[in-house]
Amino acid sequence: MGPRILVTGALGQIGTELVEALGEKHGQESVIATDVRSAPGCRILDVMDSAGIQSLVKGEEITEIYHLAALLSATGERNPDLCWKINVEGLENIIAAAQANGCKVFAPSSIAVFGPDCPSVAPQVTPLNPATVYGKTKVVCEQLAMTAGIDMRGLRYPGLISYKAPAGGGTTDYAVEIFHAALAEGHYTCFVREDTRLPMMYMDDAIRATLELMEVSSEKLGGARGGYNIAGCSFTAGELVASIQRHLPEFTCSYEPDVRQKYADSWPDDIEDDLAREEWGWAPQFDLDSMVDAMFAGLQA
Ligand X SMILES: NC(=O)c1ccc[n+]([C@@H]2O[C@H](COP(=O)([O-])OP(=O)(O)OC[C@H]3O[C@@H](n4cnc5c(N)ncnc54)[C@H](O)[C@@H]3O)[C@@H](O)[C@H]2O)c1
How many whole angstroms separate alpha carbon 274 and alpha carbon 198? 18
- From the list 45-53, 145-153, 211-219, 277-285, the region that binds ligand X by CB under 6 A is 45-53
Q: Answer yes or no whether residue 86 interacts with ligand X by CB under 6 A.
A: yes
Burial pattern 14-44, b for ≥16 Cβ within 10 A else e, equals bbbbbbebbbeebeeebbbbbbbeeeeebee
Candidates 35, 64, 77, 205: give the one binding ligand X (CB under 6 A).
35
Q: Which residues, in sequence order, are CB contacts of 63 under 8 Å at separation 6+?
A: 3, 4, 5, 102, 103, 104
Q: Answer yes or no whether residue 268 interacts with ligand X by CB under 6 A.
A: no
Per-residue string for binding with ligand X, 154-193, x by CB under 6 A? Answer: ---x-xx-------xxx-x---------------------
CA angle 165, 171, 174 (to 5 degrees): 60
Query: With contact defined as beta carbons under 8 Å apart, do 297 and 251 qualify?
Result: no
Candidates 4, 5, 15, 296: give the one binding ligand X (CB under 6 A).
15
Q: How big is the site for ligand X, counted in residues (CB under 6 A)?
A: 28
Find the shortest distance in angstroms from Cβ 67 to ligand X. 7
- From the list 64-72, 121-129, 241-249, 253-261, the region that binds ligand X by CB under 6 A is 64-72
248/292 with CB nearer ligand X: 292
Q: Answer yes or no whether residue 11 interacts with ligand X by CB under 6 A.
A: yes
92/245 with CB nearer ligand X: 92
Q: Which of 190, 185, 186, 187 is nearest to 173 (CA)?
A: 190
Residue nearest to ligand X (CB): 12
Q: Answer yes or no whether residue 122 interacts with ligand X by CB under 6 A.
A: no
How many whole angstroms separate alpha carbon 14 and alpha carbon 160? 8
Residues belonging to the active site: 134
Q: Answer yes or no whether residue 135 interacts with ligand X by CB under 6 A.
A: no
Q: Answer yes or no whether residue 36 interacts with ligand X by CB under 6 A.
A: yes
The distance of Cα 216 from the centroid of its chain, to the nearest Å, equals 19
Q: 3-state class of 85 per DSSP? A: helix
- From the list 7-15, 92-100, 179-187, 222-230, the region that binds ligand X by CB under 6 A is 7-15
Strand partners, 197: 236
Instruction: Tell me whether residue 140 is exposed, middle or buried, using C-beta atoms within 10 angstroms of its C-beta: 0 to 12, 13 to 18, 19 or more.
Output: middle
108/284 with CB nearer ligand X: 108
Q: Which residues bind ligand X (CB under 6 A)?
A: 8-9, 11-15, 35-37, 46-48, 68-70, 72, 86, 90, 108, 110, 157, 159-160, 168-170, 172
